[in-house]
Structure formats: C-alpha cells, structure tokens
Amino acid sequence: MSNPRADGVETYRGEQQRMGFFTDTSVCIGCKACEVACKEWNAVPEDGLVFTAQSYDNTGELGANTWRHVAFVEQQVEAHDGTTDAMRWLMSSDVCKHCTHAACLDVCPTGALFRTEFGTVVVQEDVCNGCGYCIPACPFGVLDRREIEDDGRVWKCTLCYDRVGDGMTPACAKACPTESIQFGPLDELRERADDRVAELRDAGEQDARLYGADPSDGVGGFGAFFLLLDEPEVYGLPPDPVVTTRDLPEMWRAVGAAALGLAGAVALSMLGRRR
C-alpha cells in the first residue's frame, strides 16, 4: 500500500513516488502510435487485426495481446444552428488501470501479480500458472489468457516496468504525438488533470470530467486515469467500478462464524449422546 509523506505525496517502498498515466482523450487523434509502440517494446503478439466494417477500431478491447486499445466512438451532436446532423469522434487510448485496491492481487494464489515500487501492478510471466482467478476479479475486463501457442498464462500492461526502472518513459507515452498519454508522478498528474478540466470547461466543453482520479472511489483511484468528454459508458468503461474483493473479509467472517456454530452444535450433540 502507499504511504503518504509529511507533504502529502503518495509514495511506495520508502521515498519512491507513485508513478502513473494521465490520458487526456480530448487531444487523442486515434493514430494508434501507442498500440504499435507497446507491441514493439513488449513483444506483444499480433492479435488478429479484425476489420469489423463498423469502426476504425481493429483491436476491439484490452486483452492478453492488446495492452493499449484505442477506442473510436462516433457521436451525433447538436450543431451551432440547432440541428443534430453534426458528427464528432471521441477517441481514447484505454489501458490497465493499475488500481490502488487491485482485486487481481487479492485473488492471485501464486504471487505472480505484485505491486512494484512505483505503485503499478505487474504480472510475472515466469510465476503465473494460468489459473485465471484474476480474470473475473478485474472490474474492467483487462486481464486475459494468451491462447497463442498454448501459452495459457495471463498478460497485461506492465506500465513498462523495465523502462520506468531505468528512468525512461513508457513506450506508449513516448510515442504519443499529441501528449494525450502523459506519464509521471501520480500526484502531479492529478493536479495537471484538474487544470486541464477547468481549461476545457472554460472553453465551453462542460461535459469534461476525470475518470479514476478520485482516491475515494470504489477501487481507491487509478494509477492510470482519464479525462473524458462524455459519460464513461460511452467509452465502454464501467461508471462506478468497485473492487470485486471488497466483501471478502465479511464473507470470511461469516464462514468462520458458521463453522464455529457447526462445531458447537456437533460438540453439544456428542455430549448429549454420552449422557
């Protein structure tokens, strides 16, 4: 877990600041440079590149072979003259959220998933046994098994742990030509994002909002959060994500109480028979 310093900065393992992504969808142009850079640097396999004839989106969703997914949303909007014939594109580069309260970590039985010193969540491919417990635990549908060559293990974004450890910028953020994907200390990114939302609203974009920046939300805030121009559902994101293991402690307490009650009933029954 994170440990706020005296100055309020969020840190992990000593003085290392928590690092993350801020994706400003208002300047995303859908070029997919992030998808390509991610695949090239991390040697992520080709994932089908299916032409759906419905969108420029040919990857569809995040998965074991798609760690960055650029969504294309075509919207009909009201024009300045009051008609609704105007169209606009909403584009957003989606990625693993690196949740503060990550359910995938809670359910992994082998320790393959771990929290790095940068506060990110990474899968160790040499430890993962492909059990798949983490897949339904993720409220965003990020994790998936790689079926190519009967791999069977779970893969996802590492936030370029190897690059960040060497003081480098993650490949997707480095390749983004519009700086839609920004990388840095999470506290600084949140301040920058607040300023950007205010700027957009002053310019008339009243629907601008942050998604995943609030540490008091259902997953404790994202390590990779977003500025959206419409409701999260429009982008295929859950509106109110909640860590799926939230009720586990209460469930285990209930199981323990039931077990104690059963043991007590058996003991009383045995005592009654002896009499």
DSSP state string for 46-90:
P------SS-S--S-S-BTTBSEEEEEEEEEE--TTS-S-EEEEE
Residue 80 CA, distance from chain mean position: 36
H/E run at residue 133: none
Question: Per-residue pLDDT for the chain (275 aa), expressed as one digit of tens each?
Answer: 555 555 555 665 556 899 999 999 999 999 999 999 999 999 999 876 667 666 778 888 899 999 999 999 988 877 666 666 678 889 999 999 999 999 999 999 999 999 999 999 999 999 999 999 999 999 999 999 998 888 999 999 999 999 999 999 999 999 999 999 999 999 999 999 999 999 999 999 999 999 999 998 989 999 999 999 999 999 999 999 999 886 555 544 544 555 666 666 666 676 666 55
Amino acid at 11: T
In 3-state terms, what secondary structure has residue 178? coil
Which listed CATH number (3.20.20.70, 3.30.70.2500, 3.90.1150.10, 3.30.70.20) goes with 3-244? 3.30.70.20
In the numeric block, the tokens 């799926």 are attached to 244
d(CA 48, CA 117): 34
- Positions of E strands within 154-262: 154-155, 181-185, 209-211, 224-228
Residue spans per domain, the chain:
3-244, 247-275
Torsion (CA) 185, 123, 97, 108 in degrees, nearest 10: -120
